[in-house]
Amino acid sequence: MSEKIIEVSNLSYVVKQRRILQSVSFDIEAGEYLSIVGPNGAGKSTLLKCLIRILKPMYSKISIHGKNIKFFSQKELAKIVSYVPQMQDNLLSITVNDFVMLSRYPYQRPFAPTNSQDRMIVNEAMEITDTNFMADRYLYSLSGGERQRVLIAAALAQEPKILLLDEPATFLDPGQQEDIQNVLSRINLQQKTTIVAITHDYNRAALVSHRILALVKGEVVFHNDSEEFMKKDVLENIYNKSFIFIKHPEIESSLAFMKESI
Partner 1 sequence: MKQKIILLVLLLLTLITLFVTPMIGIKWIIPDIFSNSELNQMESTIFWKVRLPRVSIAFFAGASLALSGMVFQAVFRNTLATPFTLGVASGASLGAASYIWFGFAFQIFGIAGQSIFAFSGALLSIGLVYGITRMKRNMSTTTMLLTGVAISFFFSSTILFMQYLSDFTSSVRILRWLMGGLEIVGFDTVLKIIPFTMLGSVVIYYFSRELNLMVAGQEFSISRGVNTNATVKILFLITSMLVGSIVATCGPIGFIGMMAPHICRLILGTDHRYLIPASLLFGGMFLVICDTLARTLIAPVEIPVGIITAFLGGPFFLWLLVRNQFENGY
Binding of residue 39 to partner 1 (CB under 8 A): no
Residues whose CB is less than 8 angstroms from the CB of residue 190 and which lie 6 or more positions away in sequence, other chains included:
128
| Residue number with CB closer to partner 1 (98 or 178) | 98
Site for partner 1 in 146-185 (CB under 8 A): 158
Among 9, 10, 41, 54, binds partner 1 (CB under 8 A): 54
Residue 71 as a binder of partner 1 (CB under 8 A): the answer is: no
Q: Is 227 exposed, middle or buried (0-12, 13-18, 19+ CB in 10 A)?
A: middle
Binding residue for partner 1, selected from 19, 79, 200, 204, defined by CB under 8 A: 79
Nearest-approach distance from CB 174 to partner 1, in angstroms: 28
CA distance 256 to 110: 52
DSSP state of 214: E
Q: Which of 2, 17, 40, 90 binds partner 1 (CB under 8 A)?
A: 90
Binding of partner 1 by 142 (CB under 8 A): no
DSSP helix, strand, coil percent of the chain (3-state; round to 5): 35, 30, 35
- Residue of 17, 111, 250, 260 interacting with partner 1 (CB under 8 A): 111
User: C-beta of 34: minimal distance to partner 1 in Å?
Assistant: 18
Bridge partners, residue 251, by sequence: none
Question: Can residue 74 be called a binding residue for partner 1 (CB under 8 A)?
Answer: yes
CB nearer partner 1, residue 68 or residue 224: 68
* Sign for the pseudo-dihedral over CA of 89, 95, 96, 100: negative
Stretch that binds partner 1, among 62-70, 95-103, 237-245, 253-261 (CB under 8 A): 95-103
52 binds partner 1 (CB under 8 A): yes
**For residues 222 and 216, is the Cβ–Cβ distance under 8 A?**
no
Q: Does residue 98 belong to the site contacting partner 1 (CB under 8 A)?
A: yes
Q: Does 65 bind partner 1 (CB under 8 A)?
A: no
The answer to whether 3 touches 31, Cβ cutoff 8 Å, is no
For 32: left if phi > 0, alpha if psi spans -120 to 50, otherwise beta; the answer is beta
CA geometry: angle 217, 226, 238, nearest 5 deg: 25
Q: Which of 2, 17, 73, 190 binds partner 1 (CB under 8 A)?
A: 73
Query: Comparing C-alpha atoms, which of 143, 147, 168, 161 is closest to residue 99?
Result: 147
Closest approach, Cβ 245 to partner 1, in A, equals 38
Residue numbers of the site for partner 1 (CB under 8 A)?
Answer: 49, 52-54, 73-79, 81-83, 85, 88, 90-94, 98-99, 102-103, 105-106, 108, 110-111, 158
